[in-house]
Every structure is written in structure tokens, then in C-alpha cells.
Structure 1
């Protein structure tokens, strides 16, 4: 039975942390959300998923990237604009992630953790969780407050009221991959039960009964008032009118990052830095068509504001990211012997000759590679394409905490089904080159094929169709 279990279980468990560090067992802490204007909280979470229907089982890994921006904050609440991107890969944590769905949402988050989500939005599906009492709590204190889970099926949305029980455990360390911290720890559990009223009409693809439970832990940075890490195990059973029983189990881990919003000026500055890096790379190795890049910049040039010498923020506390771009930074003085970058006119002239084009978009910075990539109707990277991907990988490694999306595109010649498959295979070829040849973290990279759905020019001439046959790599900044 096909359901949308992967879409409605995007847990934006947006957790509300504490105000003051606890110095002793008798002191109490007031939990409160401390978000402010022009801040972004990004959640990257990974789900080990197991489905069972009868004797058939499916294992899958999902990835959710949730970006929440404060639009306006008051003393009592923040109006939040959020993007929910979902990804998946089948099997047991192997192979590239496929970009699945996108959701947008506007909602109000109150300082005590209560949500107000307009009816037109499905996300966040876990609402008013966790919520905190008005009075301070001490270590080992327990409280219960109402929350809601929203399940979005094909033809119907089911909202289920739940009552989590929370326990404040004190201050403990956490670690996940390259990220770690020490902050307030809260454990929780709640059962879930839904039985459709007999007076309501049954829908064949919508369960009439849901039951299960959740057990989890959330960590908060008390001083900053934002979450750092969460881990939760969810178990659901769905019973459908035709007698089908579906079991779904999720093991979720998620890390939060806090930063300031990246504006258009920031993006353009990043694009300029990236273009400088590309020019340096091609000056060092040469262009495919033999064009020589003139003097003005030489191998070894680094922007003193954003050179990559280390990341003091990936360990200890992911919320202390001072650079809103997520680029590795250093404050060391620049080498006075390094030649300055090219001026705008000279840079633009050279950029027009590069086989890689760089532009800003709403999502971030896009590297566009055209026909240097593949032979006609082939998905194997050509040598010039491998060289271009290598130079892009050098740049992307300077943004280790950023999402990377690889998208394949074709012209409108040929059947839609064929172009869809070809665009996906070409995107995967570039992704595999980034991961296998350049050792980039595949958990931060996803792919998707768009066939001819997103042309950059009308498909009315060979020149324009040439522009549409491309693979794009997006460095996501929002």
C-alpha cells in the first residue's frame, strides 16, 4: 500500500532550550526560546527507516534539511519562514541521496515552544513540541504539556493530539560525527493513538487507526537559547480500511546550526571569491581550449577574508558559527607577496572563456557545466569534465557544512522518459566523481534529474539546446 510516510514524518523537532547553566542540583532553570531577528536555524537530520507490510520490508535512509528564518520577533514569539527539503536513498545507508520533495511554511513559534501553523501548511508536522512550563525547572523535574502530530496522506490530513512527558536530566556532552557540544539534556516519551470516528467517511488510502510511541533526547544550548542536537526513535502502526497493516520505524539524529541570514550582497561577494578561485585553478592547469589567462592573479592567491586554514566551530559547538556563509575562515594576515585578484573587467573577460559558469540564485551559488561533460547520449564524464569537477571540488571543500545539490538537465529532443533517465545518470556521474575521486562527504550531497523541465534558454536552435544540456552543482546558502 503506497503512502506518504516519508513526507509526513519530517520531524522539525524544534526544541526550546534553557536560560541559565545549572551550578548545583537545587538551582532551577527557566526554559525559553531566545531566537532573534535576521537569524537562521538550520537542521540537518538523518533517518534510518524500516517499513513492513505483511511479509514485505523496505529499508531506506532519509535526509531532511530544514531551514528556518526569523521574519519578525517580539517579546513573546517569532514569525518563522521555513523550507523543508527531503531526500532519500534505498538500501542501508549506501549510494547517493535523491532529492525528493520541497515544502514551504510560515508559522509562529512562541517563546514557551507552542506553535501556530496556518491550515494551508503541512510543515512542521510535529507541533508545540517540546513545550515548557511557565515556572523554572530543576534537574529530574518532570512535566507534561500538549502537542500534536500532523499526518499528511494523499487525500486527507490526520491531526493527532499527544501529551509528551519530559524529564530534565541536567548538563551532558553529545557528539555526532564531526560535531559535539555540552549543554542541557531533556529526555521525553509519548504514546500516540488515533481511531477514526465511525461517523466519518473511510478513504481507501488513509488509515482509520494509528498507534505507536516516541522515545527521544534533545540537547539545548542554555545561554544561546537554541537547540544543538536531537535523537529520537519513532514507531507507528497504520491500519487501513482494506485490512492492510503497515509498520514504520524511524531512528532519527539531527544537528542544528545557527547563523545570520545571507543577503544578496553576501552571495555576490561569495560568487566573486569563487570565481577568483576558479581562475586560479585554470591558470594553474590551463583551459581546455588552450586560452591563456594573463597576469594579474597567480597560483597561490587566497582571499585573506575567507582562506581555508581550519574550522574552529565544527567541534565543541555547532551553534557558534560566526561566518554566515559556512566557509572555513582565518584571521591571519595575508601574505604581502601575493598578487591581488583581477579587476572586474578582466575577470569577466576570462570568466566568459571558462568551461564552468558561476552565478547566484535564490538558493545559493550555482556552477554550470555544459557540453564539456559528456559525449552525445552518454553519461560518462569526459576528461575535461573531470578536470572541471576537480576544480569545483577544491572550492566546495571550503564549505564543509553546506548542502550540495547536483542536478542534470537535457534539451527537449527525444522522449521524456529517456531524457529523465539520462539527466539523472549524468547528475549521478558528477556526484560520484565528487565523492569517489575527491573524497567529499556524500551525506551533504544529493542529486536529481529534471530532463527538459528547467531550460535556461528556449529550445529553438542548436545553440540554445546546447545551453540546456548541462549539469549544475549548487552550493546551498539558504
Structure 2
């Protein structure tokens, strides 16, 4: 081996360790280690208090933020993000109402700095936290610029702020069923904005904003992503007509890092869910009293359990119908003509619950079994279907669940809107009250006839549009 080749091999061998050697002992280097085709999901919960004069309004908000890396370089990642907002009034009781949706493309640099194009309003808190270029020790303090963006009806206000950060060391955190132990960073900053006198005042836009923020973020330096955050925000808005509005937010957020769920993955999950439904209806029967029959294929049933981390008993609950004589067993179960008993997709056509994939995830669609005409109370067959769906949803405890109500186009829009909301709420309450699902992960919304799945031109098609859908959100 030549000397130059030997030196090259040595250099390649020790190259991965140079970054470690560059960080002095007792210090921590903070930077994002996000990679391409990864997803970081943030679930935030906000306790909100608004005050105008002597009038106060309490509200709880929930934000679900899904951030996908489109491509990454050594310095940054281009991120595609979805922001779903939910709210409920009062003191953290009752179902969440699905409010707004936002999309955004932005660049996240390895040091935590954001670049957001002007056409996007999200994320509205930008560059929190940001990290210095050099490693830090426990107790070190640094300041880096950031921004808050306020989007009002006719104007957007951007406020430059300068948080002061302090590295506190490694501490445990816990929120509900989630916990961790990683690097803790605290920060604080004042907020002040005053519209220049030369600019025109808008009646519904404040001309002065002031307040403060204090926050804590647990950032896992080894993995290079945040795990948990806790923030207190306090704002005072002063409007041209003299109105003074105070807004206080107490925010907690948990982050989940995972790989992107592609279309093939979603279809595999849909097949597993369909198998689960077939198991349930094979055991309990269909609403009309008929039972379905299915042969078991042990090699293909539940092919994605290992991938999803689901543990099942050795038997699935569906037994192959054979007897010792080799002749067909006696049974009262019936099949539709030409129906293959080992084809789950054909069996699925008999089920009162339809399952399909969408951009968001997996949708369970329930139609005529749900309600009587012009009624929002669940019928007994609907309760049975919701029970089977609930058992499936419980296998995905960290996923968002959305319940949506839909109608046909017959009748007044206002009436259909209210009816669709009440029907969605009935299904949600069944999931929460009867099946003990966590209401913080479930929201509802009524859409009236806004999203038909068939033209409203025949009674059969209108029947298809009168439905409630439960979405298991995968992305």
C-alpha cells in the first residue's frame, strides 16, 4: 500500500469523529439534524384568555402542525407544512371544533432560523429557539433575532424580537402520557410595536402592540429535534377607536418525529383496518341480521402489524370453516351471489362502514345506519358500528381523529349546517363517552352539502351524501 493511499484511508476512517472532537468536553452543540423525507408533528394545546374592558372570554385551542422535509442540505431543510387549528370555549370541556387550515413552505436552517415567504402567514412564531454557532455550557446565555407575525383581517403585522436564551442542562419533562429527558433551554423577550404615524390606520387593526413571552423548550441535542415546549404569551392590542384588548396564552406542545407515510403505506394500513372490521362483523353479524363468512389466510392477515407495533393474539378470531370429513360445514351464514369468501374487498361491500384512503389518512364512512330522518340521535346499528371503529382507533392513540358531518342539498343551508354539526357531535360523544377515547385527540365539524361524494341528482346519490365520516389522520 502506498503512503498516500494509507493516509487517505486513515483520513476517511477518522472523519466521522472530527465533529465529536470539535465539541469541547462539558459543552453541547445545538443544531437541527433533520433529514429528507422525515415528518415532525407538533401537537399544541393553548389555554387562552381574552379580555376587553370587564368582559372576558376563555377558550382552549389545539394546533396540529405537520412539517415534512422536502429536501435537506448541510445548512438547511426546505419544509412543507400543514397547520390545522381547533377550538372550544369554556374551561377545557366539550369537543373541539375544527376551525382553520393553513399551508406553508419555508426554510429551516440548522441553527433554528426560519425564512418564510411573504405569501405564507404560518408559522407565526419564527426562529424559536435559535442556536449559537459555537457549543455552549450549562448556564451560558445568548441572544439571537426572531419574529412574531400577527395576521389581522386587512393587514399583517410583523414584530421583530430578540429572545435571551439560557441553557439549563439536562432535565426530565412529562406531559400526559408522554415524557422525556433531554436538554432544557429557557428564553424570554419583550414585545413592542407602534405603527408609524405616516401610515394609514385601519379600524380593525391595532396601531400598538406590547407584551412579553417566556418559554421553555426541551431540545434533544443528540437527535437534533425538539421534544416538548411550554410557553406563556401575553399581548395588549390598542385599536384606533380606543378599544384595548388583552390576550394571554399558555401553550404546551409535544413533538413526534417519524418517517413520511406514503400512499403505499396508507393502502397497507387500510387493508389491515378492513381486516379488523371484517373480523368484527364476522363475529357479530351485519345490521340486517345476516352474517358474513370468510376464509382465513394466515400468511396475509394483518401484514403490517410489525411495522405499526401492534401486538395481536395468535388467532385472529376468524376460523376457517372446515370439518373432519372434508365437506362444507353446516351454516346459516349467507354470501352475496358470486362473492368470494376469501376476498376482503368483496366482503367489504357488504359492510355498513366503508373505508378509503385520502390525502389526510384513512376515512371511515357511515351512512344510512346512523340516524333517522331529520334526527341526530344515533340508532342502535350505528352505535354498534362506532364501537367497532373505536376499537380500531384505539390502536393509534397518538393520531388525530376528525369527525365530519355531511348532508345532501335538499333543504335550507342553515338547517343542513346545524344538522351536520349535531350528527358529527353525536358520533364524537359516542367515541368519548361510550368508548373512553381521549377527547383531546378528537374534533368535529359540520359541512352541510359542501363536500358531496356523489352528484345530488338521484335519491340513491343523495343517500350516499348523507353521512358521517371519521378520519384517522396519518399525515
Same fold? TM cut 0.5: yes
Aligned partners of 2:268 and 2:304 also within 8 Å: no
Matched, 1:171 2:170: yes
SS in 2 for 1:47: strand
State the alpha-carbon separation in 1 of the partners of residues 154 and 30 from structure 2: 38
Quick check: which has more Rg, 1 or 2? 2
Residue 56 of structure 1 and its aligned partner are, at CA, apart by 0.6
Higher RCO (CA 8 Å, separation ≥ 6 residues): 1
8 Å CA contact 1:283–1:298 kept in 2: the answer is no
Q: Partner residue of 2:326?
A: none
> Which residue does 1:357 correspond to in 2?
354
**1:324-473 matched pairs, under 5 angstroms:** 327-330=308-311, 334=314, 346-473=343-470
Match of 2:5 in 1: none
The 5-angstrom pairing of residues 56-455 of structure 1 reads 56-297=55-296, 303=302, 305-306=304-305, 327-330=308-311, 334=314, 346-455=343-452
1:310 corresponds in structure 2 to none
SS in 2 for 1:348: helix
TM-score after normalising by structure 1: 0.88
TM-superposition CA deviations, 1:414-465 (whole Å, max 9, x none)? 0000000000000000000000000000000000000000000010110000
Q: TM-score, normalised by structure 2?
A: 0.88
Deviation of 1:367 (Å)? 0.2
Find the aligned partners of 1:171 and 1:435 in 2 and give their Cα distance.
37
Query: Could you say if the C-alpha distance between residues 377 and 224 of structure 1 is closer, same or farther in structure 2, counting changes exceeding 3 Å?
Result: same
Distance (whole Å) between structure 2 residues aligned to residue 100 and residue 118 of structure 1: 24
Q: Indicate conservation of the 8 Å contact 2:295/2:318, yes or no.
A: no
- Would the aligned equivalents of 1:49 and 1:60 in 2 still touch at CA under 8 Å? yes
**What is the CA–CA distance in structure 2 between the aligned matches of 1:182 and 1:477, rounded to whole Å?**
26
In 2, Cα distance between the equivalents of 1:333 and 1:376? 41
Query: Do the aligned partners of 1:280 and 1:297 also contact (CA within 8 Å) in 2?
Result: no
SS in 1 for 2:305: coil
Secondary structure of the residue aligned to 1:465 is: helix
Q: Secondary structure at the match of 1:273?
A: helix
Q: CA deviation at 1:222?
A: 1.5
Q: C-alpha root-mean-square deviation of aligned residues, in Å? A: 2.3
Alignment partners' CA distance in 1, 2:434 and 2:401: 16
Contact 1:457 1:465 in 2 (8 A): yes
Alpha-carbon distance, 1:336 to partner: 10
Decide whether aligned partners of structure 1 residues 455 and 336 sit closer, same or farther in structure 2, where only a CA change above 3 A counts.
closer
Cα distance change of structure 1 residues 238 and 344 upon mapping to structure 2, 3 Å threshold: farther
Q: Which runs of 5+ in 1 are unaligned?
A: 1-18, 308-322
Question: Alpha-carbon deviation of 1:129?
Answer: 1.8
Flag as ranges the 4+ runs of structure 1 deviating above 6 A.
Answer: 340-345
Task: Please state whether the residue corresponding to 1:284 is helix, strand or coil.
Answer: helix
Per the TM alignment, residue 297 of structure 1 is displaced from its structure 2 partner at its CA by 3.8
Residue deviations 1:24-63, cap 9 Å, x none?
9x61111101000110000001000000001110000000
Q: CA 1:231 to 1:279, structure 2 compared with 1: closer, same or farther past 3 Å?
A: same
CA gap 1:208/1:41 in 2 versus in 1, 3 angstroms: same
Compared with structure 1, are the counterparts of its residues 302 and 291 closer, same or farther at alpha carbon in structure 2 (3 Å cutoff)? same
Task: Determine if contact 2:294/2:341 at 8 Å carries over to the other structure.
Answer: no
Q: How many residues matched? A: 437
SS for the counterpart of 1:105 is strand
Q: Distance in 1 between matches of 2:341 and 2:365?
A: 20
Q: Distance in 2 between matches of 1:344 and 1:113?
A: 55
1:205 partner SS = coil
Distance 1:212 1:384 in 2: 54
Quick one: structure 1 residues 67 and 337, their matched pair in 2 at CA, closer, same or farther if it must change by over 3 Å?
closer
- Quick one: structure 1 residues 135 and 356, their matched pair in 2 at CA, closer, same or farther if it must change by over 3 Å? same
1:259-300 per-residue CA deviation (whole Å, 9 max, x = no partner) reads 00001110000000000000000011110123321141499x
CA offset digits 1:384-443 (Å, max 9, x no partner): 000000000000000000000000000001000000000000000000000000000000
CA shift at 1:346, angstroms? 2.2
Deviations 1:358-378 (A, max 9, x none): 000000000000011000000
